[in-house]
Structure 1
Amino acid sequence: MTGTRRSKPRYAELGDLLQAAIEKGEYAVGTLLPTELELCERFSVSRHTARAALAQLISAGLVQRRPGAGTRVIAQSAAMRYEHEIDTVDLLMQYGNSTRLKVLEAQRLVADAAIAQRLDIAEGKEYLRLHCLRLEEQTREPIAVTEMLVPVRSGVPVDKLLDVAGAARAVARFLDPSRLSRVEQVFDAASFDAADAKLLDIKKTEPAMRVQRRYRDANGRLLLMAISLHPPGRFAYSMVLSRNHR
């Protein structure tokens, strides 16, 4: 309708419509969805809109798309997905409050050249390595495996971080948002090793979304580096970028 502002983009409306049809069984598991051109004709949308709607279904874990083979329904309900919206350090730290960290192993190690470079320390200096699972708070479903690397310096609660039973609480106190100046994030693709795949109950061949974070204090000194590997369909980050009008 002219003059009416949509609450959702057209592709999202179409994606929701197709998802509802899949969940009702109108498109059974194993069957093909209409092609992009068929969707364009049926719903009077552009090719770009149809493609984006199908991408939404792929992201939800409902369909799989292969060149020349069409878009096939692979699930009747969306995969478990934890979505976290961030645009400030404070909101990022809420991720830790709304999920549960389970520390599986804690070690005190000596940095080789590669680790020293990543942690901004000299080769031969000590650091802590924590191997963890990140769990969804309510269901306790695992959403990531996380490796935390902590340079051993004055003020670092080494004994508490090495105590597996209380390490998660120690990490939360150590990364108090009031002492952070910034968090540097890098997102890229990676793969799982057999042990981590087993922890997440997935196949080793599944791709991983890797999130690397470096937490720095008010002086810019690195407090902790965390590397998280997320399996497909279990986690998403939502970021809103606004123009600065100042």
Structure 2
Amino acid sequence: MGEPRYVVIAGDLMGRIAAGKWAVGELLPTEPELAAEYGVSRETLRRALLRLEQGGLISRHPGTGTRVERSTPVAAFTTQLGSVEDLTQYGEAAVRSILSVEPVTVDAALSAATGLAEGSGQVRITSTRRDPGSSGGVLSWARVYLGPGDAKAIAGDLEEGRQLIADLIEARTGRAVARVVQQVRAVGVPAEAAAHLGVAPGSPGLEFVRRYYDASGALFEVTVSTHAGDRFAYETVLQRK
């Protein structure tokens, strides 16, 4: 199955802007004109324009039109996660750097945030993931919570890795991910994360809490990651079966 039509249109419009078809400050053709040109509904066309707007290429002004703001998009990282396999692909696309590894005891607040048992002993791994491409920027700051046994099993595999920690655990212990429960919420970026992401503390961000369960239903890993809101896009595609 190919890419959704709006994604293809967005890519074509980006290419035309980069080639100078419409200069910075110039207005794009109207939505009805572009929809007719591409042979799609206005809703599909608007979804394509939204991708350009998220990349900082255009701005839309009711009553005035859609203006070109940049010829190339703002550096950003877009991920589309719909399965455990997609998580693995994300791991392969972003390089991990370890900041610290330390034992912690789960208090009431951490238990409420992660689902880990209050009073349990965990190993907390704090890390960043960065873009391996030309920008090399930090994409996320994360804290991963593991049981001491799993943490010990993968201790030698963490530095400068790309694999998900869950995949490392499976390779070393045989414990495989059967289910991942993910929650996403808007947050003000915490000060410690902001220092690595290069944004001001309290800036808009996205927080992902992922809980990893094995085939027996046991929770064996929790990851809490923070992304700067202006350079990370999370995309979900829903298809009718």
Q: Same fold (TM over 0.5)?
A: yes
Amino acid at match of 1:144: S
Partner of 1:3: none
Q: In the comparison of the two structures, how many residue pairs are matched? A: 235
| Rg comparison, structure with higher value | 1
Match of 1:135 among 130, 134, 138: 130
Match of 1:107 among 95, 99, 102: 102
Q: Provide the rounded CA distance (Å) in 2 between the counterparts of 1:205 and 1:170.
A: 28
Partner of 1:188: 185
Deviations 1:84-128 (A, max 9, x none): 455442342232233211111233222221212344444333223
Deviations 1:153-195 (A, max 9, x none): 5x2334965x897495893522548522211122332231344
Q: Provide the rounded CA distance (Å) in 1 between the counterparts of 2:4 and 2:93.
A: 28
Deviations 1:50-97 (A, max 9, x none): 322311212333223355665333321123344445544234223223
Q: Provide the rounded CA distance (Å) in 1 between the counterparts of 2:236 and 2:28.
A: 27
Partner of 1:53: 48
Aligned: 1:95 with 2:90: yes
Partner of 1:123: 118
Partner of 2:227: 230
Give yes or no for contact 2:27–2:66 (8 Å, CA) kept in 1.
yes
SS class of match (1:174): helix
Give yes or no for contact 1:145–1:196 (8 Å, CA) kept in 2.
yes
- Unaligned 5+ segments in structure 1 are 1-6
Instruction: Write out aligned runs for 1:60-99 (5 A).
Output: 60-65=55-60, 70-99=65-94
Q: Provide the rounded CA distance (Å) in 1 between the counterparts of 2:94 and 2:9.
A: 31
Quote the offset at 1:219 in angstroms: 1.9
Q: Provide the rounded CA distance (Å) in 1 between the counterparts of 2:8 and 2:150.
A: 50
Partner of 2:206: 209
Quote the offset at 1:21 in angstroms: 2.7
Q: Normalising to structure 1: TM-score of the pair?
A: 0.73
Instruction: Write out aligned runs for 1:147-226 (5 A).
Output: 147-150=143-146, 152=147, 155-158=149-152, 161=155, 166=159, 171=165, 172-176=167-171, 179-204=176-201, 206-226=203-223
- Unaligned 5+ segments in structure 2 are none
Quote the offset at 1:196 in angstroms: 2.4
SS class of match (2:48): helix
Identity across aligned pairs (percent)? 28
Amino acid at match of 2:106: A
Deviations 1:17-57 (A, max 9, x none): 43223212333334443443554577675432332231121
Give yes or no for contact 2:60–2:66 (8 Å, CA) kept in 1.
yes
Q: Provide the rounded CA distance (Å) in 2 between the counterparts of 1:8 and 1:95.
A: 18
Q: Provide the rounded CA distance (Å) in 2 between the counterparts of 1:45 and 1:53.
A: 11
